[in-house]
Amino acid sequence: MDWLSYKSDFFTAPASTKYHGNYEGGLLEHSLNVFRNLMLKKETFNVKLTKESATIVGLFHDLCKINFYKKVYNNESLLEYHYEIDDKFPVGHGEKSVFIIQQFMKLTEQEIAMIRWHMLAFDKEFIQNNPAKVYPEIFLIATADLEATYMEQVKGD
């Protein structure tokens, strides 16, 4: 919590530059939405996923986005800005989240698989590696993330 609170922008970062949660606090809101969706799916499908694991995976699946965006002001205005990616450690989306989390806590193999593959719809290697054969819970986090992204947190134009 100390690192999240004082050495990261987890509570204020956007979740993206121009799509879901592209505003201050968007990453936190997105993470909470994914956590809530994952908990509902855990109960609905009665899978082998502890509440602790669901909490870790739901809240921290996108830690790769911490200290990832920079605020760029438009036309030298302090009121108008947008976000741009400023990735100082480009090692992959899910992989980076796993790496960050494991600096603070040990993850189970199931948690690693769920976080690593939570972007399955956008990950070309998913089909090739077929990790859901071993960890079908990957579909729970992937769909919880998609629902939070496209159904709950879509940018209004």
Cβ atoms of 82 and 56 within 8 Å: the answer is no
Three-class secondary structure assignment of the chain: CHHHHHCCCCCCCCCCCCCCCCCCCHHHHHHHHHHHHHHHHHHHHCCCCCHHHHHHHHHHCCHHHCCCEEEEECCCCCCCEEEEECCCCCCCHHHHHHHHHCCCCCCCHHHHHHHHCCCHHHCHHHHHHCHHHCCCCHHHHHHHHHHHHHHHCCCCC
pTM for the complete prediction?
0.88
Ranges of residues in the chain whose predicted pLDDT is under 70: 121, 128, 153-157
CA pair distance 46, 28, nearest whole angstrom: 26
- Domains annotated for the chain, with CATH where assigned, are 2-151 (1.10.3210)
Q: What is the pLDDT of residues 26-42, one digit of tens each?
A: 999 999 999 999 999 99
Tell me what pLDDT residue 155 has.
Answer: 53
